[in-house]
Structure 1
Amino acid sequence: MASLSKVDAGELVVRQVIVAVVALLVVSVAPTLATADTTDGPLTVRVVRPDQGGAGVGGILVVATDPSGASASGTTAPDGTVTIPTAALSGGRYRVDASIPPTLTGVHPVARSAGFAALTEFVDVSGGRAVTLTMAVGGGTGDVELGDRVWFDTDGDGVQDGDEPPLPGVRVQLLPCDGGGNPLAEKTTDAAGHYVFGSADGVQPNTCYTLRFDYSGVDTAGLPGSPAVAGLRWTTPLASVTPDIDSNVDPSTGTARVAVGVPGSVDDGVDAGLIGGLDEVGDLVWADENRNGVQDPGEPGVAGVPVSLQDSDGALVVATTTGPHGQYAFSHLPDGTYKVCFDVAKLPAQYADYRLTRLRAGPPGQDSAADPAGGCTGPVELNAGHTEDRTLDAGLAPPVNRIAARVWSDLNGNGVQDPGEPGLAGVPVKLRGDDGGQLALTTTGPDGGYAFENVANGSYQVCLDLGNLPPAIADFTPTRSGGDSAANPATGCTRTVTIGLGKREDTTLNAGLGAPANSLGDRVWFDSNRNGLQDEVEPGIAGVPVKLVRADGADAGATTTGADGAYSFTGIPDGAYRVCFDPKTFPPAYAGGQWSKPHVGDAGKDSDVDLSTSCTQDVTVGVGHRQESTVDAGVVAARNRVGDRIWYDLNANGAPDPGEPGAAGVAVTLKDADGRVVAATRAGADGRYLLDDLPDGTFRVCLDLATLSPEFAAFRVPGAADGCLPPLAVGPKPREDLSVKVGLVAAPAVAPAAQESGSGGGGGFPVGWVLLTAGIVLAGVVFTVRWWKVVDQ
């Protein structure tokens, strides 16, 4: 350790004033062992100016501090006198400090002279003894002086307490600044432990000196425990913010470096404390900021921590608080077993929520010896072979800072986590500092929760990575902020929160995500030219009821077309829907109208309504497809027409099952009784066909089997060797039959011409095919539904 330098006189005064002001603000508070004493005699202090005929000096703050650290104070009256009330203190012996406030310009400490006490003095008023101290101040001119006191630091805290004895007989040498060469002067401490060097000893203003202290010749018989001189050593230096009451000696050299100020400067705060004798324990309380349980460079000591010493029975022996650098010591202990306890419930405000770090994580003296569970060290036995233990450190670790919350599906968009609204898994979440830089990245768990653990003290915001959401919610955006949701809809980032002392966890940065609104709809129009496309001159049809149906058949909404024939369903949940219309409800001008041929071309302009069901095919809205605006319905004037679907009936059950393909491209004709072709078309990709604009009469629907797909070339119309269905009537009532389904079956499924069913009556259907007939009502007209099925022989 380098030699310790003493502050100059100006700095000394400032430090004295700071401490004095603090003393004024603190009502006398005694630590654990202090008890009030009502037997003290009066303590009076008078401050005068000898250079002005002994006139009193008012406004000087005087503080009396008892051995426990509690204090009482007062300010001198205009006559320079003040009486300090000591009844509430622990009593007996006091350290008395007088401080000159900055407001008293031109008033400074003066060189010590006979009959005057120093501005820091020690008194004993126990047993009713009255003490009056007269202290001198001056104008700050004339001789310079440095010196003060050597004492025995009984409790080892580096601070001069009122009951700690002076140490006479210590040699003090005045040396040049570098500490080398012959002494310039030498003194020996007196009965009060004082020494002083002044102008008569060659001390010059504006000059640096080194003081060397030598205690080898002192008599220790009167000290507590009568320690051997060989066991003495210098106490902890600079242990107080008040320079006049701590020790300035470098323990490694026994020296202190001092800078003398301008003419008239007086430095009476170059003190030296010694410890030793009997047994001793102690060391350091420090802030273990990285929680590793080891004292790392840069981790500060913690001042003001209550520390108590207990004996083997758990009884309190003595208590203290850590010094300004976190140090503490209990000395002059008799042999025995002890443990040291740290009161973490009464930590200084800056460390109020810190707790003891992990136990014994490193080498003794560099780790923490206090058990976090009870706050005490293990038992330490002190005896002749083990007189001290300086490894009883205690590390205080800050709590783990944490930011944790939830991202959820805000189904109703109200910004509140309502029952039934699930968490969203896999959402990337970024942690940003107050400068906007990214510090960490995580993703939400199955319940939508996320957490950033062990973050440093500071200000943070959380941002959702909206560009990398899971596929199922890829286009979700934050719902309105407020309530439970803290994410800004425009940025995906939350407000900034501060984590640290007083708030170690924040769980408010939740974020609700909602899907963009789904919408479905378009237009119902009159297809005047029957081409299946919306032409510019073709009007919309107003007042048509429209129903939205889910894929499972449940109703999902209803509306009516507007003046331009337009309709829409908005805000619907993700899913598959179909749109259904009721031709019976067409306005009068379009009564009896029929659906236009569907899917003839441009998806945004053609009709999507199935001719037989009056419903569209299922349309899915959701992620990647939020708006469907091509679900149109074309209406044409009523004419005769026939149609439905042709498919390959692979299982010959007479019903179109999933997986059974439509007979795409099959040529379909309508023939009269003489076999003349009245109309012709081809089946679409799904096997649907429509024979339109037909004359009234009786006709047969015929399939050109030569146009079947090659893989189905052997399929035939059940019960019809010529590929034609039985005759059916068209117009004027009914005008259309859109239920003529044809299920093609594999050959040789041909029915005998004359065999009848086994029913009891005559006139039954041929056994080789079954004709099912049912009456249905469509658009107010009764139609016949027919289909054919091969019956196994």
Structure 2
Amino acid sequence: PGPGGPATIGDRVWRDTDDDGVQDAGEPGEAGVAVELWDEAMATKLAATTTDGSGAWVLAPPSTTTPYRVRLVLPAGAIYAKADAGGDDATDSDVRAAGDDAGFTAPLTVAAATTAVDAGIVFRPRVLLGNLVWRDGNHDGIYALGEPVRPGVAVEAWNASRTQLLASATSDAGGVYALEVPRGGTYRVHFADATYPSFTPQDAGADDSVDSDVAAFGADFGWTAPVTPAANLFTVDAGVVAPINVGNFVWRDTNGNGAQDGGEAGVPGVTVQLWDAAKAIQYSSAVTNGSGIYTLRAPHAGTYRVRVLAPAGFTFTAKDAAGDNLTDSDINPSGPDAGYSDAFSLASNVISTTTWDAGLIPL
């Protein structure tokens, strides 16, 4: 059955038992599903109804010239069927299955009775994603017995494109969490620990049951790689650490002697970066403040280099000229490492290192 009368919109919500996005013979309508009418911007709900015993529904838009969207509210345990599958608008599902507008149709203008706005839902068996959040005291990326667990960490399951939140949990007193998601989907897990906001090296070991699966830097910081669980998956773990601060000072070496002398001012607005020893991976970036001070964050123990981008018209003063690491310049002025410090190692017990300075001189 479909809606009747002018300027109405509706049709059917059905259970897509074979998960193909098409209403096949024998696939039943789904009763008791909430269907809503929203404005085009998805900012305001305008009307709502519930599907009847056969899955049919109808709504009456207030205008015949204004675009609207229909939203399907998923029942517990369901996911959206594939959208616009099969090439026949009379039998496909019109609700977006993913993205920022997941659960909504495309904008619709209803000038007369419209009876082809359908929505398929799929009930897949659920699986659990877990398992452990711990504080990695030695920053080696491997959980060892005796290392402290981390309760109270926010953990979330998202779709693979990170546009739809699907489940959330908080690690318990034992550092354990579990997220329930439909089996067969592809997901990414996100972790956020306010006390230890950085992560140990990702996939550091050959045993996935004890390593950390979370990116420690870059665009994927805090996220796992995509996982597609066919059954319960209890190897999605996170080792958390406190980041290590690296600094400190970029100044104008007015007399060119390679030392920070009294009265020589810091240089604001200079970009400073933290790289790996091979100069292949950038971990963090900062800009010097009004006094020439900067702070970079190393995600965990490791070997790094500081890179300073000299402003136009400047180059670097001599390196290590002052004989005092607190007042000299640590950036190579020439050669293959020009603009970079020498490589240096940070141990897991280091909180900060503030001796990485750069002196600038005019070209």
Q: So what's the TM-score if we normalise by structure 1?
A: 0.19
Question: Larger relative contact order (C-alpha < 8 A, sep ≥ 6)?
Answer: 2
- In our comparison, the structure showing a higher alpha carbon Rg is 1
Q: So what's the TM-score if we normalise by structure 2?
A: 0.39
